[in-house]
Amino acid sequence: MAIRVLVADDHPMWREAVEKDLIEAGFEVVGTASDGRAALERTRATRPDVLVLDLHLPLLSGAEVVRGLKDAQVETRVLILSASGAAQDVVEVMKEGAVGYLVKSTGREEFLQAVAATSRGEAVFTPEVAGLVLGEYGRLARHDSREPAPELTAREKDVLRFVATGMSYRDIAETLGISHRTVQNHVQNTLGKLQLNNRVQLARYAVAQGLAQDDSVPGAAAGPSSGPAPTRAPR
């Protein structure tokens, strides 16, 4: 079945272009919104798989929309698509529960891949914001009280280290020489053992346990690589 998406952006030309790209790629766009209040109301009404959400919207900000969805227990996953890569903006909305964060200079194909990944609960970030997110997780982890870590297999720990850098399942599979499905199975098993819900929480756990600092893990940034700017003019 097609992934169901709602698009919220206050710039009509950008919003319509994003909607067109999604439809052409086979996604089902269930609606659009031009302000934060409409984004919250329409997402609550339609329950899409993914909400593609601008950060700076009239009436309600992107962070307020994400908080409202969380309070209403709406399970739609939120992918931020914003012109801002400012640390305060990124950290605020990720704390509220957004799954991923892209800047508007991201290329079309990278964006479409990120929407699909978000629908699966995978954390996706453009490189310029990935370090901010992992850094914040590390800061929060130092103040968290944690119970002893459940026992993970050596391979689960290997996969977890790469998840902490934001690598895709496909890249992890290629790096470790295993199948994409095997990586998925390891992630699901690890989520179950740790009683976590998604890759965002898993990445935070890995940072908290010091796994993300392992020397065997490359320092590559997370999420889709920053490609050429889309033909649509960013805000």
What percentage of the chain carries pLDDT values higher than 90? Answer: 40
Return the pLDDT at 15.
95
Using CA atoms, how far apart are residues 9 and 14, in angstroms rounded to an integer? 7
Using CA atoms, how far apart are residues 44 and 40, in angstroms rounded to an integer? 6
Which one is predicted more confidently, 64 or 202? 64
pLDDT, mean of residues 179-192 = 86
Using CA atoms, how far apart are residues 211 and 216, in angstroms rounded to an integer? 10
- Is the separation of the CB atoms in 65 and 128 below 8 Å? no
Segment 62-68 long-range contacts (CB within 8 Å, at least 24 positions apart): 62/36, 62/93, 62/98, 63/92, 63/93, 63/96, 64/36, 64/40, 65/8, 65/36, 65/39, 65/40, 66/93, 66/96, 66/97, 66/98, 67/96, 67/97, 68/40
Return the pLDDT at 28.
97
CA distances from 47 to 11, 53, 90 (A): 23, 14, 24
CA distances from 202 to 76, 121, 160, 234 (A): 18, 11, 8, 32
Return the pLDDT at 234.
32
pLDDT tens for residues 83-92? 887 777 787 8
Mean residue pLDDT of the chain comes to: 80
CB neighbours of 196 closer than 8 A, spacing ≥ 6?
190, 202, 205
Other beta carbons within 10 angstroms of residue 18's beta carbon come to 26
Return the pLDDT at 105.
87
CA 57 from chain center: how many Å? Answer: 19
DSSP assignment of 58-106: SSS-HHHHHHHHHHTT---EEEEEES---HHHHHHHHHHT-SEEEETTS
Highest average pLDDT, of 142-151, 200-209, 210-219, comes from 200-209
pLDDT tens for residues 138-158? 554 444 444 545 678 888 888
Return the pLDDT at 108.
93
CB neighbours of 195 closer than 8 A, spacing ≥ 6?
none
Sign of CA dihedral 162, 166, 167, 172: positive
Domains of the chain: 4-136 (3.40.50.2300)
Predicted TM-score (pTM) of this structure:
0.62
pLDDT tens for residues 7-63? 999 999 999 999 999 999 999 999 999 999 999 999 999 999 999 999 999 999 999
Return the pLDDT at 203.
75
